[in-house]
Amino acid sequence: MKIFSGSFNKPLAEKIADHLGLILSPVEVFVFPDGERRIKLNERVVDDDTIVVQSTATPVDNSYTELFFIIDALKRSGARSVTVVMPYVGYQRQDHVFRDGEAVSLKVMIKILESLKVDRIITLDLHSIKIPEFFHIPQIELSALPMFAEKIKGLMGVGSLSHVADGARPFADEDSDLEQSSLSEKRSGADLNNDNENKSVFNSSASGQSSHFFENAVLVSPDMGGLRRIKMISSDLDSMPWIATVKDRDLATGEIQTNRIEGELPDTAKTAFIVDDMTSSGKTIIEAIKLLKEKGFERFFAFVTHPIFSSDAPILLQRSDVEKVFVTDSVFVPEEKRFEKLETLSVAEMIAEELNNIK
């Protein structure tokens, strides 16, 4: 087995390779002055099972194009199989027609992947339950929710719950809900799992205090489309109470307004764990916090799988009332978009475990 990486999340690819006991095979990427990319493999792949890692994030079109060229090079060079690891799938918010005259951009990208004879694709926390139906090749969707659940338990100082899965867990079907490194380079991966620091976020080393925060905590979906996601993480947290904030988005401008809460709000709720699949502008989280503050909430923590961080999101989130923003390394966050409240959890091990399962 050989593993290759595109240009858009090489640090994650290196971590995955390390967990697999491999080293990244070299890919030569040359960019012409007009922006065209030329791809060349610098290693033989005849009759090899191959993996290519590429998150199709900003700039989305460039990352997709580069991925297509790498796949084509692998196939032309005689690779026996090509498994695409695409932790973040670009265009997944364009999975249906919102207004007359629009393209379904995600379907276009999936058709191109399939035309290149990809053998399988591994994704992470897709935006919609319907997206897997678009694929006509084997597709495995992993989730960061078990990792987030463990982090929440650490923050509350309650320890592990025996039924929470370790590592990768593909999404289960549900009919009812259709709708790198830490920002600071001072913190290492080991620091992210340090129990003492986890507890210190709540200043709750005493068991009584931990129990108090457990009783006063609630999970929050920042929109109705995340109900399936919030119910899944609730089940990993002994049915922690959950609610959803309802947002209205102007489809032309993208402006968001959050104006009400759905679900039963516990009278004692003071701490909110906001869970979402991605954040771009950061405004969905910020608007949810504003509404929750009006309802008496005092502390806010955000858990987001994909840190797209376009526009001024890092500045807005740093200045907001959120105490910590936990994300995964599904998308590489450049230095200029890192901020003090950001903490990154790696999905490399869970992806490597899934790759081992399909050897």
Domain of 101: which CATH number? Answer: 3.40.50.2020
Q: Which of 124-133, 154-163, 196-205, 218-227 has the lowest mean pLDDT?
A: 196-205
Residue 8 lies in a domain: yes
Number of domains, the chain = 2
Q: Are residues 161 and 26 in the same domain?
A: no
Q: Which of 93, 119, 142 marks a domain boundary?
A: 142
Q: Are residues 96 and 197 in the same domain?
A: no
Mean pLDDT score of the chain: 84
Q: Which of 1-15, 225-239, 314-328 has the lowest mean pLDDT?
A: 225-239
pTM of the model: 0.82
pLDDT in tens, 187-224: 333 333 333 334 334 433 333 344 445 568 999 999 88
Q: What is the pLDDT of residue 254?
A: 58
Q: Are residues 108 and 158 in the same domain?
A: no
Q: What is the pLDDT of residue 331?
A: 97
Q: Are residues 221 and 280 in the same domain?
A: yes
SS3 sequence of the chain: CEEEECCCCHHHHHHHHHHHCCCECCEEEEECCCCCEEEEECCCCCCCEEEEECCCCCCHHHHHHHHHHHHHHHHHCCCCEEEEEECCCCCCCCCCCCCCCCCCHHHHHHHHHHHCCCCEEEEECCCCCCHHHHCCCCEEEECCHHHHHHHHHHHHCCCCCCCCCCCCCCCCCCCCCCCCCCCCCCCCHHHHCCHHHHHHCCCCCCHHHHHHHHHCEEEEECCHHHHHHHHHHHHCCCCCCEEEEEEEECCCCCCEEEEEEECCCCCCCCEEEEEEEEECCCHHHHHHHHHHHHCCCCEEEEEEEEECCCCCHHHHHHHCCCCEEEEECCCCCCHHHCCCCEEEECCHHHHHHHHHHCC
Full domain range(s) for residue 59: 2-142
Q: Which of 119, 142, 165 marks a domain boundary?
A: 142
Q: Which of 142, 169, 186 marks a domain boundary?
A: 142
Q: Which of 184-188, 318-322, 339-343 has the lowest mean pLDDT?
A: 184-188
Q: Which of 164-178, 223-237, 250-264 has the lowest mean pLDDT?
A: 164-178
Q: Are residues 334 and 186 in the same domain?
A: yes
Q: What is the pLDDT of residue 183?
A: 30
Q: What is the pLDDT of residue 232?
A: 94
Q: Stretch 74-101: mean pLDDT, rounded?
A: 92
Identify the band that residue 17 occupies on the pLDDT scale cut at 50, 70 and 90.
Answer: very high
Q: Are residues 247 and 340 in the same domain?
A: yes
Q: Are residues 98 and 136 in the same domain?
A: yes
Q: Are residues 58 and 194 in the same domain?
A: no
Residue 351 lies in a domain: no
Q: Are residues 256 and 110 in the same domain?
A: no
Q: Which of 64-78, 92-106, 243-257, 322-336 has the lowest mean pLDDT?
A: 243-257
In degrees and rounded to multiples of 5, residue 167 shows phi and psi of 75, -150
Q: Are residues 170 and 132 in the same domain?
A: no
Q: Are residues 192 and 235 in the same domain?
A: yes
